[in-house]
Amino acid sequence: MTVEFVFVGATLLAVAIIIGWFVSWSIHIVSICFGLHHLYKKLEPMIPAEELPGVSIIKPLIGVDTNLKSNLETFFTQKYPNYEILFSVPDDNDPAILVVKSLIESYPKVDAKLFIGLRNVGPNGKINNMIRAYEAAKYDNIVISDTGIKMTITTLSEMVHCLKPDVGLVIQMPYCATRKGFGAIYQQVYFGTMQARNCLSANAVGVNCSTGMSSLLRRDVLETVGGLQAFSKYLAEDHFIAKAIRSQGYKVVLATTPALQNSGNCSITEFHKRLVRWAQLRISMLPLLIFFEPLGECFLLGGITSWAANFLFDISPLAFFLSHLLLWFLCDYILFRIVENGPLPFSKFEFLVAWLLREMLSPYIILLGHLQDHVVWRNRKYKLKWGGEIELKVLPNLELVNVSM
């Protein structure tokens, strides 16, 4: 009786694993098809210049890196008739001030302003940094663009092109500009494979997978859900803004070009800290992912499905696992080429090493996300609660001086 019970249980488990395995492959296929169809597609008809709406670009900055100046410069050279750039820094000691001031001097014809000092509207440091610029924005279309983002001259017009009347938020899928060093390759492979797969497939089927690195939103829609400051109680304000905009009946769509992260800091250690922070956010906001996210990882899924295929169909586990690995690698390689819109910008060997490293380390990153009881983001430390709300644990000294209500 007990043996029969164990056998039925194991059979059901194996069947569930095989179904999960097919779901994972459908995510690969959907992301490749959607990526091919959507990314870099020619936008027609182009909106005539005189009809393009005004846009306020908010750039929340903290500190400098070696690429900051050249990245920010790309915002001054947009092929777009009607926009302003609103930079903000948390305090008057921030080294980014010098960089911004020198660019404003070099481009006197571009409408650009700098806001120094936070306004404390809640725990989220990014929102506190942006809020004054947001309130001063003169246009109703707002781009929020993180410090390390670089634009091509047409990025702004491409994003605006996607802002149809039924769209409340346009997000650029996170990707990277090509930079030197293995750390840069590792990041580029992460964003061009695992992140792109989930982001593209989620957007293809209407699942909220929004990141706030580079996004364009309608201020009137955001105001109906409380404005920017309403999201300061969350750390993942990007996810909750997208959710609120969708709840108003507006679409959230992907821009046709990805966001080019081009920070001068390509350290793998720093990148891992960021991935752990993101994993913590996902765990707290979407607890179902505690179970599903590891199952979407190549090695773990390959391992358990090899057992299931052996149990159900007597297939050699080693042959199954190696075939699974090879197919997964090929799908990721194809997807990477689609996201990159061209050949690999580094050697195939480097791609393979970076891919293997990422795949092998991802369970460890997820585990770290489970083990840490607080979140560190820039110079702030937070306690993250179930549901995604945060409590500030450590406020940097500088802010105590500069906080104004």
Ligand X SMILES: CCCCCCCC/C=C\CCCCCCCC(=O)N[C@@H](CO)[C@H](O)/C=C/CCCCCCCCCCCCC
Q: Of the ranges 97-105, 120-128, 205-213, 246-254, which one interacts with ligand X (CB under 6 A)? A: 205-213
In the shown chain, the binding pattern of residues 135 to 174 toward ligand X, with x for contact by CB under 6 A and - for none, equals ----------------------------------------
Shorter beta-carbon distance to ligand UDX: residue 84 or 146: 146
Task: Answer yes or no whether residue 378 interacts with ligand UDX by CB under 6 A.
Answer: yes
332 near ligand X, judged by CB under 6 A: no
Instruction: Return the residue matching tokens 């056998």.
Output: 7
Beta bridge partners, 170, equal 216, 253
What is the C-alpha to C-alpha distance for residues 232 and 377, in angstroms, rounded to an integer?
14
Q: Does 274 bind ligand UDX (CB under 6 A)?
A: yes
Closest distance of CB 306 from ligand UDX, Å: 35
Token pair recorded at residue 178? 């090509």
**Count of positions on this chain that bind ligand X (CB under 6 A):** 27
- How many angstroms separate the first and last alpha carbons of the chain? 70
Question: Rounded CA gap, 218 and 169, in Å?
Answer: 7
Give one DSSP letter per residue of 286-339, joined into a string: -TTHHHHHHHTSHHHHHHHHHHHHHHHH---HHHHHHHHHHHHHHHHHHHHHHH
Q: Does 324 bind ligand X (CB under 6 A)?
A: no
For residue 394, the SS3 value is strand
**DSSP code per residue over 78-120:** -S-SSEEEEEEESSTT-THHHHHHHHHHH-TTSEEEEEES-B-
The verdict on 282 binding ligand UDX (CB under 6 A) reads no
Q: Which of 335, 380, 382, 384 binds ligand UDX (CB under 6 A)?
A: 380
Q: Which residue, 12 or 401, has its beta carbon nearer to ligand X?
A: 12
15 or 49, CB closer to ligand X? 15
Active site residue 314: no
| Binding to ligand UDX, residues 43-72 (CB under 6 A) | 60-62
Q: What mask of x and - would describe binding to ligand X in positions 233 to 262, judged by CB under 6 A?
A: ---x-xx-----------------------
Amino acid code (one letter) for 331: C
Closest to 216 (Cα-Cα) out of 260, 174, 161, 263: 161
Residue of 140, 238, 314, 332 with catalytic role: 238
The answer to whether 119 contacts ligand UDX (rule: CB under 6 A) is: no
Q: Under the criterion CB under 6 A, does residue 198 sit at the interface with ligand X? A: yes
Of the candidates 99, 86, 96, 91, the one whose C-alpha atom is nearest the C-alpha of residue 58 is: 86
Please report, as residue ranges, which positions from 121 to 150 form the binding site for ligand UDX (by CB under 6 A). 125-126, 129, 146-148
Alpha-carbon distance of 213 to 207, in angstroms, equals 18
**Using CA atoms, how far apart are residues 12 and 6, in angstroms rounded to an integer?**
10
Among candidate residues 119, 132, 224, 222, the one with its CA nearest the CA of residue 169:
222
Residues that bind ligand X (CB under 6 A): 20, 23-24, 27, 30, 195, 198-199, 201-202, 205, 207, 209, 211-212, 236, 238-239, 278, 281-282, 286, 289, 292-293, 295-296
> Mind telling me the catalytic residues?
238
